[in-house]
Structure 1
Amino acid sequence: MSSSTPSSSAGGVGSADSAAPRRNSKRPKYSKFTQQELPACKPILTPRWVISAFMLVSIVFVPIGMVSLFASRDVVEIIDRYETACVPDGYKNDKVKKRMKKPIYVYYQLDNFYQNHRRYVKSRSDSQLKENSSWDDVSSCKPEDMSNGQPIVPCGLIAWSLFNDTYSFSLNSKQLAVNKKGISWKSDRDSKFGKDVFPKNFQNGTLKGGATLNSSIP
């Protein structure tokens, strides 16, 4: 009797342990990547190694820098700030004293013009600019949404403040044509701006913010 008692009690304990639910371990699965045991290179920065590295970088990039420097010297750039000068009759003549190779690019730089202001950025209608069927969608274009009771196309402050300065070029008293095509991104022309959207009722108010648009050009 005494020999059978321990065996029955041991069997009871074993069955209780097997029936108890096992606790899930939060220990991550072992891998060399998670345990940061991957092979690594730890170079010793000796003076000879550092000097050799700098010499190699200098041999590669010094010629590139010299070529870029000489190429930039051939670029002719004229910067003219004229808003504070007295320009008679709206014209000002500047002579280019150095020969300029084509193509010649013209850029405007506007200071103190906060075009990232929230009210200015939101004052436009993407659907109106994309499809002609949405020409009257001016819900997000205030305050430049309606004029004389009709929707403005294109509407909004961004279109209303179109920069309206003019310029011309001449060579030996002969006017040079300025090409204004191909200056926009192809992705914008294909997906953001429709080819059948024409200006309507634009800049017809008493206060004009910029230049006018040709109603026959989309």
Structure 2
Amino acid sequence: MASEFISSDIVSILLFMSPGFLTIALVGKLYGIAIEMEQFEKTVWSLIASIPIGIMFVYLNEINSIDSFLNCFLVHPLRSTFEIIVFSLILALLVSLIIQHKYLENLSMKLIHNKDDGFQTDRTVWDRFMQKNIGKAAIVETHNSVYKGWLSANSSRKEKREIVLDSPVIVYVHENGNTEDFPYGKQIILFGEDIKSITILEED
């Protein structure tokens, strides 16, 4: 009896969490992106997404215990499954709309800049510097040359550090200290291991 009780609890918990995984998958489809997360992150977010869905399901079916939650699926499997899918779709749609309207992005930016609360993020100094200065004129010094151009793209987070300069020129320094610019194509990509410094030029 004890083992059956434990087994029913496990099944109920899995049923409770499954809508969250469905919601995360639907968000990726509705938002038009592949959600890249570690398995632990996906599990945590799925559990969080399962909570509002579970509350709606419990309220609608007047469930007051774990056994009742499982019995609801056993007695009304099609209706219960349909309700879970509908609730997951509604939540996924709401989350997708929020993402598309930049609400979550604005909230995350506020949290990132609020360092007093110890909020942790995988955004690096490189990410923040490039995000702040993308599109601006810059001088990039490498081990062999000095380039000037417009920052147009960059890698981020776990990717290898790379930047793209639009309308690049090579800056040549004469013996008398004067500089001369030589056009160097339409775009150039520079790799992090070769970059010594990046100087953002003052805007006119």
Which TM-score bucket, shorter chain as reference? Answer: under 0.3
Give the TM-score normalised by structure 1: 0.16
| Larger strand fraction of residues | 2
